[in-house]
Structure 1
Amino acid sequence: MRNWYRSTIGGLPRLYWYLWTGMLINRVGGFVALVLSLYLTSAQHLALPVAGFVVGAYGIGGIAGVLLGGVLADRWGRRPTLLLAHFGAVAVLAALTFARPVPLIAGLAALLGLMHAMPGPAFVAAIVDVTPHADRSRAFNLQFWAFNLGMAVASVLAGALAEVSFTLLFTVDAAGTLVTALLLLWTVPETRPARARSHHAPGGLHTALTDRAYLLFVGLSLLLAVLSTQTSTILPLAITGDGLRPSAYGSVVAYAALLIVVGQLFVPRLIDRWRKGTALAVANVFLGLGFAAVSLADRLPGYLAAASVWTIGSMIAAPPNAAVIAELSPEALRGRYQSVFYLVFPAAGFIAPATGGLSLRYLGDWHWVVCGALGLLAAAGHLLIQPARERRVAEQLAAERFAVPVAG
């Protein structure tokens, strides 16, 4: 047990744990987005098309927030970006609770999406700043575990509070966000490296958008995200199409979340000696095989078995995926690089349902075989780009190690 603690949790900086705790509290409390459509239709009595437009506004705000958060994290710093996003979200949640005109609700929803998305790049950039290179895989593994634990708790709270009062739901969400903001205010100083603060960083958002090595990795990550997004977009259609009740889908999602909460902490010891590209290739193989197995499932046990396989892939992928992004990001542009990566998720949120619906309709169970092929394709891609990426990382680490700090 002592060895497990040392290899999984021990040795990480105290400042990392402050950031980790803030992320967990914020994720547990951040459940308005989970039931936003329900609030709009049942409490505000909006028609489904109008509610869909408002939820879409939240998503558009999220895309803008990711990019803005990355730029501000590099220009202003991690701390002011995190504080602005969290205190801003508290204000927007309070306003949204009492808003009634539809245009105002839509505008506030977009602003809430922006505030919710802004902290992501700053949080991850701060973790990279404070965590030694050798410990980053463990740090990101614990971050992924906290994210899923928070999401599981938030889902339960959202359903319970929505049945009591939406006003109470918004209030609790705002309170959780405020607690996170105060924790960050009291415990987290600016973490941006001194070299980055002492002079204007060369390059900008366009640097990340034109970095060939980075974009190759982001492209492969998009394939992984498209596969993972099947669980929330196309899988429910497959399960109900087999004549199972919607509760069966809930059981599959809850089971997968439980696997992550129980098993994620043991992943670092499993993959610690693997090269990151190899770990990502193995992860994509598991994801591909898991979703391909859905083509054989027609009852709940079959879906649970498939979920076991693809969830193993998700758990293996999380630590090396985040660590590679950190390695490829220049020290002075970490926030911007993180923001470009975060665009993968809204992109996958569009691609998966837009193409998956048509694929499931015309290909039937072969849709899941195609998903399996995508997983194998992504696995091969990670193995192919691994040598060049490792050379790039070694050169970048050497350059940062021997860089002479600029007096400020």
Structure 2
Amino acid sequence: MQGFKDVPRTVWLLAAGVFVNAVVSFTFVFVFLYLTGPRALGTAQAGLVTGIGGIGLVAGNFTGGWYGDRFGHRRVLLLASTLGGLTLAAFPLLPTPLLYAALPVAQYASGVVRAANSALVAITVPQGARRQAFAVVRCVSNGGFTLGPPLGALVATGLSYDWLFVGDGLGTLFFALWTARVVPARSADRTPAAAPDGGLGRGVWGELRARPAVLVLLGAILVVDVIYRQQYSAFPVYLADHGLDTSAYGLIVALNGAVILVLELPAAVALRARPPLGVVGVGLLLVGAGYGALLLGTGIAAAVAMMVLLSLGEILYKTPATAYVADQAPPHAIGRFQSLYAGISVSGVVLAPPLGGALYSAAPGLLWPLCAVLAAGAGGAVLWAHARQRRHAVRPAHETGSRPRAVAG
């Protein structure tokens, strides 16, 4: 734990709340079964409802940080958690037509909470320890999501699907109360720092143009998230087409969580002094290598190799990228920078299924080579930005990194 001594106590307490909330956030796994089962919707109708919910999730991620910069990230997180918790808990009481509105509202609130939570970590943690702090939050969140689905299955089969939503709603409300208790209002809800000119500054686009490496990173993450999330859409269909059943897919996906739980925190400590863009670039290359492994065969060994490489790539790129964007943000726009990253980093939720599904249906043999090539290209672009920063290391810190050691990142 020596590498985490600079992570404030507040972040550890916040992470405890994240863990509990993640354990009971099991409705996302079972919502399609709930809609087609107890609610008796057809497959197309259930797909429409969940698709609209996915759009709400992405929209919430894109806007949560903007609200936080204006009204305070703690305040926004509390309001969004309360809204989302009440909406989820009320699901069993709502008539079916209202679910078309209720699910997007709950997902939108969840996205706002995610962005606000990232911004809270960014403003709570001193520069230089953010990578470790985000690793802590990500690790406990993954641990909760690993425990959640089997617990949710027990609740659904032993009680009813209705209790899934009640439990998820109560867990979200608990997270609001826990955050209100452990995150000091004085620091978290302070007015954001003014721009250097005393006003609103040059806007987010202007700030991004002054940080071209951030723009390259965001573009690369957009591409890779669509590729990464093929594991939840086209990949299970691919396995079924090659004789591997649902249980095999479940075990392979569980491997992702296991690798992350074991290696996320040690990797954050071991690589904390490495330039972030270099680490991210290698991670994206590993994602590409994961899908490339599927070209070596169609059996369980290739699928396991794919998931291990994908998991290692995720460990290397997700936490350092989140911390890098936070470190690069000007003080008056931390929330907006985190919202941009948060929204882009879940864009695959909406884009991956239709794009991957259409390509797999039209040309099954093309999807995995294309995923490998695009991820490699994204990784190469980030490594190019890293090399470019090293060549211009004499630039001011606000352009090249928030720490003296990060100028080369």
TM superposition score normalised by structure 1:
0.89
Unpaired runs of 5+ residues, structure 2, are: 404-409
Alignment partners' CA distance in 2, 1:322 and 1:30: 22
What's the offset of the Cα at 1:371? Answer: 1.7
CA contact (8 A) 2:52 2:104 kept: yes
Number of the residue aligned with 2:347: 347
Alignment partners' CA distance in 2, 1:204 and 1:35: 40
Count of paired positions = 395
Number of the residue aligned with 1:12: 7
Secondary structure at the aligned position of 2:7 is classed as coil
User: In the alignment, residue 6 of structure 1 is paired with which amino acid?
Assistant: Q
Spell out, residue by residue over 1:64-119, the C-alpha distance to the aligned partner (whole angstroms, 9 max, x if none). Answer: 322331221101101110110111112212322200141x1211112111111111
Instruction: Provide closer, same or farther for how the CA distance between residues 169 and 358 of structure 1 changes in structure 2, counting only shifts above 3 A.
Output: closer
Number of the residue aligned with 2:72: 77
Instruction: Provide closer, same or farther for how the CA distance between residues 250 and 211 of structure 1 changes in structure 2, counting only shifts above 3 A.
Output: farther
Instruction: Provide closer, same or farther for how the CA distance between residues 362 and 395 of structure 1 changes in structure 2, counting only shifts above 3 A.
Output: same
Alignment partners' CA distance in 2, 1:349 and 1:221: 13
Secondary structure at the aligned position of 1:243 is classed as coil
CA contact (8 A) 2:55 2:350 kept: no
Alignment partners' CA distance in 2, 1:89 and 1:295: 42
User: In the alignment, residue 135 of structure 1 is paired with which amino acid?
Assistant: A
Identity of counterpart residues, as a percentage? 26
Please tell me whether residue 202 in structure 1 is matched to residue 201 in structure 2: yes
CA contact (8 A) 1:30 1:176 kept: yes
What's the offset of the Cα at 1:375? Answer: 2.2
Number of the residue aligned with 1:158: 152
CA contact (8 A) 1:144 1:318 kept: no
- Equivalence map 1:325-344=2 (5 Å): 325-344=325-344
Alignment partners' CA distance in 2, 1:10 and 1:149: 21
Please tell me whether residue 118 in structure 1 is matched to residue 112 in structure 2: yes
Number of the residue aligned with 2:21: 26
- Equivalence map 1:215-230=2 (5 Å): 215-230=215-230
CA contact (8 A) 1:292 1:368 kept: yes
Number of the residue aligned with 2:291: 291
Number of the residue aligned with 1:281: 281
What's the offset of the Cα at 1:325? Answer: 0.9
Alignment partners' CA distance in 2, 1:399 and 1:293: 35
What's the offset of the Cα at 1:212? Answer: 6.3
User: In the alignment, residue 157 of structure 1 is paired with which amino acid?
Assistant: L
Unpaired runs of 5+ residues, structure 1, are: 402-408
CA contact (8 A) 2:58 2:347 kept: no
Runs of at least 4 residues off by over 6 Å: 208-212, 397-401
Spell out, residue by residue over 1:339-377, the C-alpha distance to the aligned partner (whole angstroms, 9 max, x if none). Answer: 122222443233323332233344434422222212221
Q: Which moved more, 1:111-120 or 1:196-205?
A: 196-205
CA contact (8 A) 1:208 1:337 kept: no
Alignment partners' CA distance in 1, 2:350 and 2:271: 31
CA contact (8 A) 1:71 1:205 kept: no
- Equivalence map 1:247-286=2 (5 Å): 247-286=247-286
Alignment partners' CA distance in 2, 1:258 and 1:278: 25
CA contact (8 A) 1:31 1:173 kept: yes
- Equivalence map 1:39-188=2 (5 Å): 39-102=34-97, 104-163=98-157, 164-188=159-183
What's the offset of the Cα at 1:193? Answer: 8.3
What's the offset of the Cα at 1:192? Answer: 4.4
Alignment partners' CA distance in 1, 2:96 and 2:156: 21
Number of the residue aligned with 1:36: 31
Instruction: Provide closer, same or farther for how the CA distance between residues 394 and 252 of structure 1 changes in structure 2, counting only shifts above 3 A.
Output: farther
Alignment partners' CA distance in 2, 1:157 and 1:204: 45
Q: Which moved more, 1:198-207 or 1:273-282?
A: 198-207
Alignment partners' CA distance in 1, 2:215 and 2:380: 16
Spell out, residue by residue over 1:185-233, the C-alpha distance to the aligned partner (whole angstroms, 9 max, x if none). Answer: 1121233486725776435555567666233220011122122112111
Instruction: Provide closer, same or farther for how the CA distance between residues 298 and 387 of structure 1 changes in structure 2, counting only shifts above 3 A.
Output: closer
Alignment partners' CA distance in 2, 1:278 and 1:30: 33
User: In the alignment, residue 235 of structure 2 is paired with which amino acid?
Assistant: L
CA contact (8 A) 1:326 1:334 kept: yes
What's the offset of the Cα at 1:328? Answer: 2.1
Spell out, residue by residue over 1:130-184, the C-alpha distance to the aligned partner (whole angstroms, 9 max, x if none). Answer: 1121111111122221221121112222222222312221221122112211111
Q: Which moved more, 1:58-67 or 1:166-175?
A: 58-67
User: In the alignment, residue 295 of structure 2 is paired with which amino acid?
Assistant: S
Alignment partners' CA distance in 1, 2:261 and 2:171: 21
Q: Which moved more, 1:348-357 or 1:114-123?
A: 348-357
User: In the alignment, residue 105 of structure 1 is paired with which amino acid?
Assistant: L
RMSD of Structure 2 on Structure 1 (CA): 2.5
Instruction: Provide closer, same or farther for how the CA distance between residues 207 and 154 of structure 1 changes in structure 2, counting only shifts above 3 A.
Output: farther
TM superposition score normalised by structure 2:
0.89
Alignment partners' CA distance in 2, 1:97 and 1:52: 19
